[in-house]
Structure 1
Amino acid sequence: MDLTYRRYADADADDLVAFLTGDTWPFHGSPVVDAERARQWAAEGRFGNAETESFWIDGDGEPLGLVRLMDLGDSTPVFDLRIRSRYRGRGIGGHALTWLTEHLFTALPRIRRIEGTTRRDNAAMRRTFRRCGYVQEAHYREGWPSADGTVHDAVGYAILRRDWAAGTTTAPAWDDERTTEG
């Protein structure tokens, strides 16, 4: 399947509402999004403003997913990725992560790194991060509250520009506490 990426525009608000309300998002803070909330998010500029750009992931003549790039004025942007449930498990997430990484490092030469966070139990996204050259940098205990009141651990990943350019990965210095303790 050929995938293309199309910038979200304010005129897409109705399509955005249909996309967000037409599926479930089990690894997001709100797994079910109602139309009122989706319209509010669109009206507030959550998907497009000075610091945020969003892109539809198109394939098979329809939007299969959505990539939201945030904190674009910072040296470390973050992202949100949503793939429609019927298209999950087909490699679209990996394609999107590879695309957004290249897009950000190419379009914004000042950025040094890109970060992403997922729930600890989102095994598919964690594998996708690793396959795409991202390295686990953080584990946030009870850092991801869910709509049902449960709290999950979250895991943070990042890719450095220098690793992306060289096609390598460098691990964090996990044992650095020995050198900082007196």
Structure 2
Amino acid sequence: MHIEFSRFSPDDVEALVDFLTGQEWPFHAGVQEPEAVRKRVADGGYDDEESRTFWVLADGERAGLVRLQDLADDTPLFDLRIGREWRGRGLGAEAVAWLTGYLFAELPHITRIEGTTRQDNHAMRAVFRKSGYAKESHYRESWPGRDGTVHDAVGYAILRRDWLSGTVTLPDWDDEPR
């Protein structure tokens, strides 16, 4: 499978609306409404000085979406969505490897990249680990689900120096004063 990344264009708004509203996103909060997506595009929420969005193209088809956020900060965040029919094929790991390299290469001021997922999103957690990201946080009962269940959220990050050296520096989890 050939994977490419193509920058989102405002001309892609209807494709974006279809992508975000045409399928279930079990590990993303809220339901996307078409008009809300269109408004966010019009307001620059998918491409401006603080954010950039890219299509994940698998063999030329729009298979996923990478949205990079807080680009003026030294620690940007990202949202990754892989379309239902493309899940389980390694696109998540390819996308995280790509976005990590892209951010560190394009934005020399950033020192780290963060991402958060629900505790029960085992596939995404495996992608983080495979991509050199370290678990840095665990937020108990902080991610409301559509059915009213409140899930734990787990945060991961990669440091520029770890990315450059190919290592993973784990947090000191035993730093509480006695």
Band of TM-score, shorter chain: over 0.9
Aligned match of 2:56: 57
| Secondary structure of 1:177's aligned partner | coil
Aligned match of 1:6: 6
Structure 1 position 125 matched with structure 2 position 141: no
Aligned match of 1:161: 160
How far apart are 1:15 and its partner, in Å?
1.1
Whole-angstrom CA distance in 2 between matches of 1:124 and 1:59? 19
In structure 1, stretches of 5+ residues that fail to align are none
Aligned match of 1:83: 82
Following TM superposition, the consecutive aligned residue runs of length 4 or more in structure 1 with deviations greater than 4 angstroms are none
Aligned match of 2:99: 100
* One-letter identity of the residue aligned with 1:15: A
Kindly tell me the number of residue pairs found equivalent between the two proteins: 178
Aligned match of 1:149: 148
How far apart are 1:144 and its partner, in Å?
0.9
Aligned match of 1:25: 25
* One-letter identity of the residue aligned with 1:102: G
Whole-angstrom CA distance in 2 between matches of 1:142 and 1:74? 27
Aligned match of 1:42: 41
Whole-angstrom CA distance in 2 between matches of 1:111 and 1:60? 31
| Secondary structure of 1:98's aligned partner | helix
Whole-angstrom CA distance in 2 between matches of 1:22 and 1:58? 17
| Secondary structure of 2:41's aligned partner | helix
How far apart are 1:38 and its partner, in Å?
2.1
Whole-angstrom CA distance in 2 between matches of 1:12 and 1:18? 10
Whole-angstrom CA distance in 1 between matches of 2:129 and 2:60? 29
Aligned match of 1:74: 73
| Secondary structure of 1:129's aligned partner | helix
Whole-angstrom CA distance in 2 between matches of 1:136 and 1:75? 18
Structure 1 position 15 matched with structure 2 position 40: no
* One-letter identity of the residue aligned with 1:77: P
| Secondary structure of 1:90's aligned partner | coil
In structure 2, stretches of 5+ residues that fail to align are none
Q: TM-score normalised to the size of structure 1?
A: 0.94
* One-letter identity of the residue aligned with 2:9: A
How far apart are 1:39 and its partner, in Å?
1.8
Whole-angstrom CA distance in 2 between matches of 1:153 and 1:43? 33
Whole-angstrom CA distance in 1 between matches of 2:135 and 2:4? 28
